[in-house]
Structure 1
Amino acid sequence: TILLLHPDTTIHLLVLMISFSTMILYKQYLLLITIYRIHLHFITTLMILGLSLHLTKLIFFLQNTKSST
């Protein structure tokens, strides 16, 4: 049916379809980037929390050994 129309309209439709698909792809890309950033932030936060917990445990352990002697 598209081929039966005027050539200009078919080109216009093709351009519209291409632009629409690229827009969707771009939005998906942005979403992926956002998710990745949040994920990265979450991982770094967890790592920092784990490290601080480890350090506090170590400090408490050292304090306990100091007080026992």
Structure 2
Amino acid sequence: MPPAATDPGNLSLVTQERSLLLLEWWQVDGRRDPLQKPWMFTADQAWPLPNQMLSPYGIWIAEVMRCSAA
């Protein structure tokens, strides 16, 4: 089955492109203080590169918990 049949809007490609753009922005302008956002590290305790993926669910949960603690 061609990808267009399972993903009619080709959202997987759009999602990948936006993920890369967000990670590139974050490398330049994002908050990178490990004391503020320790969940933004990769498993080997390094900041992610634009081609590395972090768990969006884990980040979302951590952000929600951080906001509710304030």
With structure 2 as the length reference, what TM-score do the two structures score? Answer: 0.33
With structure 1 as the length reference, what TM-score do the two structures score? Answer: 0.34
Larger Rg: 1 or 2? 1
